[in-house]
Amino acid sequence: MLEARVRDRTRELSAANEQLRHEVAERKEAEAQLKAAQARLVQAGKLSALGEMSAGISHELNQPLMAIRSFSENAQLLLERGRTEVVAQNLARITELGDRMARIIRNLRAFARQENAPVRAVDPVRVINAALEMSETRLRESGADLDWEPPAAPLRVMAGEVRLQQVVTNLVLNALDAMAGAGGTLSIRAEPVAQGVRISVADRGPGLAHPDRIFDPFYTTKEVGPGEGMGLGLSISYGLVQSFGGNIEGHNRDGGGAVFTVTLPAPEKEAAA
């Protein structure tokens, strides 16, 4: 009887073990599908942001192209007249404009790239500058002023550079949307804190109607329509910052407007220092 009971119990345990293995396999597959869906959502968010900025980007590239053409035509005339010193100035200006175009295209390619690399030490100031360069036309169109003073001391944070640029770009575009047509000041700061480095993006728009819901998927205060987004930008940004081991918060400012703060961990050696 004892042997029979042992055999029955063994069969039960074997069946339970097999069921557990099956459930573990199902959960691993579900986790892989979830990660793939999150990656697709992040990429869709980046492409959506690029779509919103496409007109401004086109202008940013077309303007230096026209200037290059004008400088080159003038250089031909000046060479015929022997004014080589002015020709040299024109050529230097053409080089500057070419470098600017190359920088814009490089930022676009990096922003659109699907980044799968693990987090590493990156320069947040470089990320902010790239985001501002991509948003330059939107900044002019909004009528807002820019208050951004890069810190004197170098900063490093643990993040994915492309994904962090997406977060900062989204915060900048949201702030400019909030101040569209009304003016105000876009204030950006990057400073060391006890937890690592804090990046803040503040505007003087109408503020947040529901600060407790801003990171909910599909929550948006924008009107429904083409180019207005689906309310996923902040939700995606929240997930990205969390994946870096950081934190993102948003609240209303005294005197009107909203401020978003992203706190990211510093590399271990720098944090220890």
DSSP string, 197-237: EEEEEE--SS--S-GGGTTSTT---SPSSTTS--S-HHHHH
Alpha-carbon distance 157 to 120, whole Å?
8
pLDDT above 60 for 20:
yes
The CATH number of domain 117-272 is 3.30.565.10:
yes
Alpha-carbon distance 80 to 124, whole Å?
48
Phi, psi angles (nearest 5°) of residue 199? -110, 125
Residue 258, classed as helix, strand or coil, is strand
Residue with tokens 């590399």: 267
Rounded mean pLDDT of 247-268? 92
Question: Domain map of the chain by residue range?
Answer: 1-114, 117-272
pLDDT above 90 for 59:
no
Q: Per-residue confidence at 251, pLDDT binned at 50, 70, 90?
A: very high
Phi, psi angles (nearest 5°) of residue 200? -125, 140
Alpha-carbon distance 110 to 114, whole Å?
8
Provide, rounded to the nearest whole percent, the portion of the chain with pLDDT above 70.
79
C-alpha pair distances (Å), 240 with each of 47, 164, 255: 16, 8, 30
Residue type, 11: R
